[in-house]
Structure 1
């Protein structure tokens, strides 16, 4: 999908699976939470690969327990410590942006790993919207419901200052103003569900029931949730272990 003038790197930051989704502890045991994080990341990466929207695909992580997923999905794994000496997501993404620029990339696409409803068409829409912008410092963002930034595609990524964390969309927008970037924010219904709370998990189960969820996450939910629970969100807490 990228044009001959575009050379896009895409990176999916992935946390240690064993420490993921702690706020779901009232409805899922620790091993189930780890498996859910694995499945959701697998669905995001599968959608990214199917979109053909990027020339290079990477997983960024500070945990070697994510290597197996990268290998299974044939995506290049990057150790966070190899791209930055500083802790945190912003430093890690900035490190990837420097590597991308060195490799000749014109843009970097950052996609969070906990959006199992994301589709290849959604990612293609982000890239086509970016390509339609005028100028040579184009930025497209997808805002989360809580004011975060679920997807970000930035041209000249090594010059962009990343502001992930609370209210990141507003801070990324200010960064665009500071740099005089041509920018826009688009809304995707599939990214409205980034699974961080028990209510989000209830919504995820309903999406799986309705066929709107990625295959890896759907298969896991069908395994760990009795069929009756997929239809009755009020009883999810009964599966806590």
Structure 2
């Protein structure tokens, strides 16, 4: 049992899907990139919905499809900051949750191998506020999931080289980060090489995303 008593909301920023995942364009068409993004977001939402211990789910989005998915799940929709990039979207949600006395789990929509069990493992590792828990990307560059209580305890700046800066930012605030490597959460999809890595990942075997990629002939 963890030492955290703050209710934690999952925050999932979803930018408008038209033009999504441009770095996959050497292998996927625009329509394929949008289809893959919908599948991956669906798998993240399913994992969050199946995880025990979350107070709720919030999507930061203006995308009509993502908004409809949120309504279908009974999730909250936040539009503030939705066009301000990943960092801006998460920060906008953090301000709202902080004002409500909630905690925050921030994660992206491109981690299709995530499971409810991994979400629960992150929650279990999180300590009493002020606390910072992080699950890094597979390359130890990105920050694929962060739990913060309170949500503004550590300034966040996402990007390709955010993992070690986030650890330093937490320590600068006097908070020792709890690091929880999780293979499903670690496997984010940004470029064509990531598609091949997903195909080799045992945790991805049952995902709809990988089944679709194989059906489309996009991975072996």
Q: Does 1:197 align with 2:194?
A: no
Conserved? CA contact 2:4–2:129, under 8 Å: no
Moved more, 14-23 or 110-119: 14-23
Q: State the match for 1:224 in structure 2.
A: 216
**How far did 1:111 drift?**
1.1
Pairing partner for 1:154 from 148, 153, 158: 148
Q: Distance in 1 between matches of 2:100 and 2:149?
A: 14
SS in 2 for 1:142: strand
| Cross-structure match for 2:87 | 90
The alignment status of 1:184 with 2:181, answered yes or no, reads no
Measure, in 2, the Cα distance between the counterparts of 1:124 and 1:34.
Answer: 29
Q: What is aligned with 1:41? A: 41
Q: Counterpart of 1:118 in 2: which secondary structure?
A: coil
**Secondary structure class of the residue paired with 2:204:** coil
Answering whether residue 121 of structure 2 is matched by residue 125 of structure 1, we say yes
Larger Rg: 1
1:43-78 Cα distance to aligned partner (Å, 9 max, x none): 011101101231021111243442233234332222
Query: How far is 1:19 from its partner?
Result: 1.5
> Where does residue 11 of structure 1 map in the other structure?
11
Q: What is the CA RMSD across the aligned residues, in angstroms?
A: 2.5
Of 109-118 and 62-71, more deviation after overlay is shown by 62-71
Which residue in the other structure is 2:101 paired with? Answer: 104
Q: Residue 216 of structure 1: CA displacement? A: 3.5
Q: Which blocks of at least 5 consecutive residues in structure 2 are unaligned?
A: none
Aligned partner of residue 41 in structure 1, secondary structure: helix
How many residues get paired?
Answer: 219
Change (3 A) 1:219 1:72: farther
Q: Displacement of 1:30 after TM fit?
A: 0.8
2:112 aligns with 116
Query: CA-to-partner distance for each residue in 1:168-218, whole Å, 9 max, x for gaps?
Result: 1122112111110132212111133211111111233445xx673464424
Task: Check the 8 A contact 2:110/2:189 in 1, yes or no.
Answer: yes
CA distance in 2 between partners of 1:219 and 1:38 (Å): 14
CA distance in 2, matches of 1:203, 1:182: 31
Match of 2:23 in 1: 23
TM-score by length of 1: 0.80
* Aligned equivalents of 2:59, 2:129: Cα separation in 1: 26
The Cα shift of 1:149 comes to 0.2
